[in-house]
Amino acid sequence: MKQYGLYIDGVWKNADQGAFFDVTNPANNEMVGQMADAGAKETRQAVDAAYRAFPDWSQKAAKERAVILERVYDKMIEQKEQMARLMTMEQGKPLAEAQGEVQYAADFFKWYAEEAKRIYGDTVPSSSPDKRIWVLRQPVGVTAAITPWNFPAAMITRKVAPALAAGCTMVVKPAEQTPLTAAFLMEIMDQAGVPAGVVNLVTGTHADIIGEALLEDKRVRKITFTGSTEVGKLLMRKAADTVKRISLELGGHAPFLVFEDADLKQAAREVLASKFRNAGQTCVCTNRVYVHHRIKEAFADILAQEVERLQVGEGLQEQVQIGPLIDEKALTKVERHVADAKEKGAKVVTGGTRITGKEWDGGCFYAPTVLLDTTQEMLVEQEETFGPVLPLHGFTEEEEAVTLANDTPYGLAAYLYTHDLARAIRVSEALEYGIVGVNDGMPSTAQAPFGGVKESGLGREGGKYGIEEYLETKYVSVSLK
């Protein structure tokens, strides 16, 4: 069993009162480890450390920072297996997905190790011969990251890697459900030679208190958050008091449009990849499938056959493709959504129940589900289900499908399947989303800009765009007179 303290100023320390909290496995409710339970005081100590470390780190040659980030990548790959196993135990996702996440998470270090060397400024022609206009890009300063449990490693590295590459320092507050992977990552960064104070870890069960301490501190110049829209709005309001820069990656309600010309098998493969990854617990997972009426029944049959083949179980077991949901609350939400859909007339094609019985005791398992003929009035089409439930909604006209797809406060990811090029271009341009997958249910990658519009968030993570969030622009005007 793992027991971790807080990682502050390059050392591991206990929380002030020596308090710990338990981290459990959602597949069986067994304890996986314990984590230090910090409050405001330890959070301020972490900010102190990040503040002290900033001048040295930001003034290092970019190449020097790049070498350290590259080493973090190497160490993550070396320890991929241990990290993935720990992640599966505390989060529940199948081991193969956890291994995939460690690779994806490490890729951000690789990418930003390279990007650190390409932070270019500008010189702008001035209006007079004896003036010069220089534009510098400088790190914003001390930053803070608050991250969720669904990607315990990648949601941290997607923030830490560009921040460190830009020359910022950071305090990380991971989700209370998955702090062990975060602590493991800190060990790796320590081994890779990230200097003391450059990255710090604060964990605890009182997210509001830790959040408050980070938000009210004037020295923290930027908050970057991935999580619910509700908490995102709260942080945005609080950030206003000290005018912090803010990046938000919030909830989504991804539509997947399947047109009548689609190859149904291939379209089903992409829908399944998008829907059932992480048991449906990602903010880019498909929430609603709009399928042309002519192919609706056939598509439902193909999906049902594939879904029934999915192996549900404890993530460390081989062959398992769907793990447990994160907790009982998540399970109850899925049950509520399915009950509501049934009540309002949707048909359960397959699944539709929680999985019970002796061997499943203590686990939060829900059968992968396909619902047919869902409507806009149903919760599944309004709220993020965050579970393995696939609602199918028929349409006739392209315009109707696009209008339905856009009729939501969210705007993170959307998908479509068609072989008609003109339609693919037309529809991807009309969808009010930050990410569009054309015949592609898995668009996330380190070098592309990830983020949403509307109430799905602000800012982009990944690629050359992600580092912008950690840079200020300074204009230097030089007179030669």
State the catalytic residues. 249, 283
Q: How far is the CB of 225 from ligand ADP (least distance, A)?
A: 7
Q: Which stretch binds ligand ADP (CB under 6 A): 65-73, 226-234, 347-355, 462-470?
A: 226-234
What is d(CA 68, CA 72) in angstroms, rounded to the nearest whole number? 6
Query: And the tokens for 128?
Result: 């007079």
Alpha helices in 277-397 (DSSP H): 293-309, 328-343
Q: How far is the CB of 363 from ligand ADP (least distance, A)?
A: 19
Q: Which stretch binds ligand ADP (CB under 6 A): 5-13, 24-32, 90-98, 224-232?
A: 224-232
Q: What angle do CA 69, 111, 459 make, to 5 degrees?
A: 105
Which residues fall within 8 angstroms of residue 205, CB to CB, at 6 or more apart? 21, 37, 176
Exactly one of 28, 29, 228, 375 binds ligand ADP (CB under 6 A); that residue is 228
Q: How far is the CB of 414 from ligand ADP (least distance, A)?
A: 21
* Single-letter residue type at 249: E
Nearer to ligand ADP, 180 or 401 (CB): 180
**Matching residue, tokens 């970019």:** 62
Nearer to ligand ADP, 252 or 368 (CB): 252
208 binds ligand ADP (CB under 6 A): yes
Q: How far is the CB of 140 from ligand ADP (least distance, A)?
A: 20
Q: How many residues in the chain?
A: 481
Q: Which stretch binds ligand ADP (CB under 6 A): 90-98, 204-212, 369-377, 426-434?
A: 204-212
Nearer to ligand ADP, 102 or 156 (CB): 156
227 binds ligand ADP (CB under 6 A): yes
Nearer to ligand ADP, 138 or 205 (CB): 205
Nearer to ligand ADP, 178 or 418 (CB): 178
User: In a 3-state reduction of DSSP, which class is residue 369?
Assistant: strand
* Single-letter residue type at 285: C
Query: And the tokens for 325?
Result: 């949901």
What is d(CA 86, CA 73) in angstroms, rounded to the nearest whole number? 18
- Alpha-carbon 299 to chain mean position: 30
Whether the CB-CB separation of 143 and 223 falls below 8 Å is answered with yes
* Single-letter residue type at 111: W
216 binds ligand ADP (CB under 6 A): no
Nearer to ligand ADP, 231 or 436 (CB): 231
Q: Burial code of 389-421, b = ≥16 C-beta within 10 A, e = fewer?
A: bbbbbbbeebeebbebbbebebbbbbbbbbeee
Whether the CB-CB separation of 106 and 329 falls below 8 Å is answered with no
Position of minimal CB gap to ligand ADP: 211
Q: How far is the CB of 211 from ligand ADP (least distance, A)?
A: 2
211 binds ligand ADP (CB under 6 A): yes
236 binds ligand ADP (CB under 6 A): no
Site string for ligand ADP, 93-132 (x = CB under 6 A): ----------------------------------------
327 binds ligand ADP (CB under 6 A): no
Q: How far is the CB of 12 from ligand ADP (least distance, A)?
A: 20
Nearer to ligand ADP, 187 or 212 (CB): 212
Q: How far is the CB of 254 from ligand ADP (least distance, A)?
A: 16
What is d(CA 349, CA 372) in angstroms, rounded to the nearest whole number? 7
Q: How far is the CB of 46 from ligand ADP (least distance, A)?
A: 14
Which 8-state DSSP code applies to residue 322? B
Nearer to ligand ADP, 146 or 370 (CB): 146
Whether the CB-CB separation of 379 and 336 falls below 8 Å is answered with yes
58 binds ligand ADP (CB under 6 A): no
Query: And the tokens for 434?
Result: 């930050």
Query: And the tokens for 401?
Result: 């499908």
Q: Which stretch binds ligand ADP (CB under 6 A): 87-95, 227-235, 259-267, 430-438?
A: 227-235
What percent of the chain is helix, strand and coil (3-state, nearest 5)?
45, 25, 35
**Matching residue, tokens 């949601």:** 155
Per DSSP, the residues of 105-128 read HHHHHHHHHHHGGG---EEE--SS
Whether the CB-CB separation of 160 and 170 falls below 8 Å is answered with yes
5 binds ligand ADP (CB under 6 A): no
Site string for ligand ADP, 135-174 (x = CB under 6 A): -----------xxx------------------------xx
Q: What angle do CA 263, 265, 267 make, to 5 degrees?
A: 65
176 binds ligand ADP (CB under 6 A): yes
Nearer to ligand ADP, 66 or 156 (CB): 156
Q: Residues in the site for ligand ADP, rule: CB under 6 A?
A: 146-148, 173-176, 207-208, 211, 227-228, 231, 234
